[in-house]
Structure 1
Amino acid sequence: MQDDRIALGLDLLRSLEHDELSVADAVDRLETVSTHPAVTREILDTAEKRGIIERKDGIIRPKHSEFVSYESQVVQKDGEFECQRCGAGLSTGHFIKYDAGELGPFGSSCIRKVTGRD
């Protein structure tokens, strides 16, 4: 299970649409994968070792972003959901399909925040 979360976190970092962001902002996004500090730390360490990100002085710079395609990777599902990022109740959940699995649900504004579109 932890390996799945690591792979999902790496996919998320690979798809960030930022030139740079603070470690705190990166952790905010990674908390949608796991709120366990050791898992978050392992995701960041692994991403740095694999060349997915560069980390220096509290700043993370994605090295090669593969932006999320909203047309093919984001799926909307109707139902009763709780946003993975902010905890708000949702009647439509937005899910991101990555190679490692599905991440979500998110509300329409939180999915944009998680991917870096806002």
Structure 2
Amino acid sequence: MPQHREGKRELALDLIEHLEADDLPLAAVIDRIETVTTSPALTREILDTADKRGLIDREEGRVRVRRGGAFVRFESQVVVRDGDFECRRCGAGLSTGHFIEFDAGELGPFGSECIKKVVGREE
């Protein structure tokens, strides 16, 4: 995963663009962004950039995703690896990690349930 600010921003923007839910509470979007960064300043920058690029609309604590049909394709964008991992979302120990391949880089590892929540297949 990119460690520099611009790389993290672009990775989070890729994630936002691929969320499967059309409308989410702001807190749910921040939960997903926190899989990339826990910096409040960078989180604000990511949300502002997503808004400026037309990826989202923000209103009254809600975020509407304007992705134009981009979803994470589990068959081609999710890579599963065996190893000793810690889930980026919940912190659980994993023997199998799920990683999402985006243009900006790889995001993960996630457990089998957390990856569904991160992309918006489950709330």
Tell me which stretches of 4 or more aligned residues in structure 1 moved more than 3 Å.
none
Shift of 1:19: 1.6
TM-score of the two chains, using structure 2 as the length reference = 0.95
2:76 aligns to what?
72
Please identify, of 62-71 and 43-52, the stretch whose mean Cα deviation from structure 2 is larger: 62-71
1:37 aligns with 2:37: no
Q: State the number of aligned residues.
A: 118
1:103 aligns with 2:101: no
Structure 1: give runs of 5+ residues left out of the alignment. Answer: none
Structure 2: give runs of 5+ residues left out of the alignment. Answer: none
1:85 aligns with 2:89: yes
Cα deviation 1:4-47 (Å, max 9, x = unaligned): 00000100000000120011000000000000101111000000
1:116 aligns to what?
120
Cα deviation 1:53-86 (Å, max 9, x = unaligned): 0001010000124100000000001000000000
Q: Calculate the aligned-residue CA RMSD, in Å.
A: 0.6
Shift of 1:91: 0.1
TM-score of the two chains, using structure 1 as the length reference = 0.99
| CA distance in 1 between partners of 2:42 and 2:8 (Å) | 8
SS in 2 for 1:91: strand
Percent of aligned pairs with the same residue?
Answer: 61
